[in-house]
Chain A
């Protein structure tokens, strides 16, 4: 089956710093989503981005489908950005990566 790898596995930032999270996948996909799981366990969809670039406030994402990777950019990080960021891809069912654990310190 399709493999999804995320890097880095964990990341510690000072408030205000920028970061880039990466998602590599092993086969062509027709769906890629980024999720944020907050420290209370709630999963929030950030982007539906099978290709191209999208921006939402301080977050943006780029997927290069032909090269099988996606990047999530977080600018001017805030403590509320802390949590786990998951990439999930599908050909017909979503397969999740193991996530990047982000801690933003004040």
Chain B
């Protein structure tokens, strides 16, 4: 039982390049999330998926797209990376409690630098 896994762990991009961050969970959770964490700040929600086949914008969705590929996998895509997207990206999953989020379990994070 690996929990939540993310790839890659580190990535350096040039401005304008694209990339996809991968996330998978093996806990049979319905809900999955992408957050970014900037220095000295808490986590901010980018996108989430309450269940397979659905995705919704979070607090800071601009510049990102997501795909809920199946129940296990939720990917985050940067189409044209910008220096402002330099951050640590965390994926999380949880069981839903109706409209509420249950305990969230986090992956190890991806440290992204955009030059």
Contact = CB atoms under 8 A, between A and B. Distances in A.
Interface stretch (A63-71, A73-81, A84-92): A84-92
Interface of B: 33, 40-45, 48, 58-59, 88, 90, 92, 97, 99-106, 108-109
Nearest to B4: A43
B103 A45 contact: yes
B109 A48 contact: no
B104 A92 contact: no
A48 B103 contact: yes
Interface of A: 4, 30-31, 33, 35, 41-45, 48, 86, 88, 90, 92-99
A33 B103 contact: yes
A98 B40 CA distance: 7
Most chain A CB inside 10 Å of its own CB: which residue of B42, B43, B105:
B42
B108 A41 contact: yes
A93 B88 contact: no
A98 B11 CA distance: 25
A98 B41 contact: yes
10 contacts: A4-B42, A33-B103, A33-B104, A35-B106, A86-B42, A92-B99, A92-B101, A93-B45, A93-B101, A97-B42
Contacts of A41: 88, 108-109
